[in-house]
Structure 1
Amino acid sequence: MIKRFSLLFSLLLSFSVSAQTLLVLGDSLSAGYQMSAEEAWPSLIPDEFAKREQTVRVINASVSGDTSGNGLAKLPALLQEHQPTSVLIELGANDGLRGFPPNVLKTNLSQMIAQIEASGAKTIVMQIRVPPNYGKRYQTLFEDVYPQITKETGTPLIPFFLEQVILNQDWMMSDGLHPKPVAQPWIAEFVATQLEPYFPL
């Protein structure tokens, strides 16, 4: 009987150590725009990590329309409530579409990274790219924020999944901005592959 309890305790301890919580802080690209939350790629990430023999719990805090400023405002409460081991920031597309100054994006990302690191979690940032609506100069300044801030903070930067998805028009909605449900499994696999080098945390 004692041996059984010892074995059970060891298994529970092993699970608690290996289990990780990933908080996805994003916009409509991660929220599951015009689809159920279960279809969106963050909901499929646990299965992708299960294939890699890792247990990952995902909290999808993404909201359609959110900017980096929205993410910064809600981050403290999310960190306190969920106590994630890692946070993936997928924000900035709406900043770019609204023509926000790149320095505002950089400041918001910097503050989010600082808060996440202070909580004891690991930060991972996704590169965001925007259409050249406001000219090539703005596009370059905006997109350069991501490698700049991650280099300055020593934070991992992973590629923007939409760059690959948009090449397959059958995967894109008629607005030309959002992936369809059929693209979500591929996105989940892509993101999991990009995250894998930084797990376990």
Structure 2
Amino acid sequence: MRLFSLILILLITAPVKAATLMIVGDSLSAGYQMAIEKAWPSLLPDVLADKNQPLDVVNASISGDTSGNGLERLPGLLSQHSPDYVLFELGANDGLRGFPPNLIENNLNQMIELAKKSGATPILMQIHILPNYGKRYTEAFAAVYPKVADQQGIALIPFFLDQVITHPGWMKDDGLHPKAEAQPWIANFVANQLINHLELP
């Protein structure tokens, strides 16, 4: 009886491990040309905690990654980190290289299915690209994301860059990457989107 009571006390008092979100992205999430602790994924846990949504965050983003690179890395990442949620922020580099939208769609579908099989809940971020390749391509590219999210039955959250790019002084001279000054706003924006799709105690 005494042993049972001790076990019960330990179970009650043991800290509950926070769920884990893994972000699989490119330079927009990897902290391009800045200290990693200033990048929005590093700021995200504190922002979520302030909103009473504690979540551990693993930033598995690499600058320059395409959706194909993400697909290649994903099995190892899922095995290593065993995340509860996976946020996919990929495709911008595919678009910049003019990759066919159906290739991006196929890669995203495969990644989402791998995440589901691992037991994680996938979340997809909408990506838009600059209209350098013409209206037809940019519209076909953008349409991939709602199509995949709908087919897979998963959440699609808005692209943070659509709003960051409108703020003077928040973008680097390349016109593609947010500065460190924009990262706290991005973290708050992403947190507000995520909390609609998290199932946390």
Q: Secondary structure at the match of 1:198?
A: coil
Q: Which residue of 2 aligns with 1:139?
A: 138
Asked if 1:10 corresponds to 2:21, the answer is no
1:31-90 per-position Cα deviation (integer Å, ceiling 9, x unaligned): 000001100000011001111222211110100000000000000000000000000000
Partner of 1:116: 115
CA contact (8 A) 1:85 1:121 kept: yes
> Do residues 36 (structure 1) and 38 (structure 2) align?
no
Paired with 2:181 and 2:100, the residues of 1 have a C-alpha distance of 34
State the secondary structure of the residue aligned to 1:169.
coil
The verdict on how the C-alpha distance between 1:135 and 1:40 changes in structure 2, with shifts beyond 3 A counting, is same
Q: Partners in 2 of 1:73 and 1:89 — Cα distance?
A: 14
Q: CA deviation at 1:9?
A: 2.5
CA distance in 2, matches of 1:12, 1:189: 30
Give TM-score scaled by structure 2 length: 0.94
1:99-110 → structure 2 map (5 Å cutoff): 99-110=98-109
Instruction: Tell me, in whole angstroms, the C-alpha distance in 2 between the residues paired with 1:175 and 1:59.
Output: 27
Structure 2: distance between partners of 1:52 and 1:6: 30
User: Equivalents in 1 of 2:60, 2:186: separation in Å?
Assistant: 17
Q: Give the AA of the match of 1:156.
A: A
Could you list the runs of 5+ residues in structure 2 that have no partner in the other structure?
Answer: none
Q: Percent identity?
A: 57
**Distance 1:173-1:163 versus aligned 2 partners, 3 A rule:** same
TM superposition shift of 1:8: 4.3
Q: How many residues align?
A: 198
* Structure 1 equivalent of residue 85 of structure 2: 86
- Secondary structure in structure 1 of the residue aligned to 2:151: helix
| Counterparts of 2:51 and 2:187, CA distance in 1 | 13
State the partner residue of 1:62: 61
Q: Please, which runs of 5 or more residues in structure 1 have no aligned partner? A: none
* CA distance in structure 1 between the aligned counterparts of 2:181 and 2:13, rounded to whole angstroms: 37
Q: 8 Å contact 2:53–2:195 — kept in the other structure?
A: no
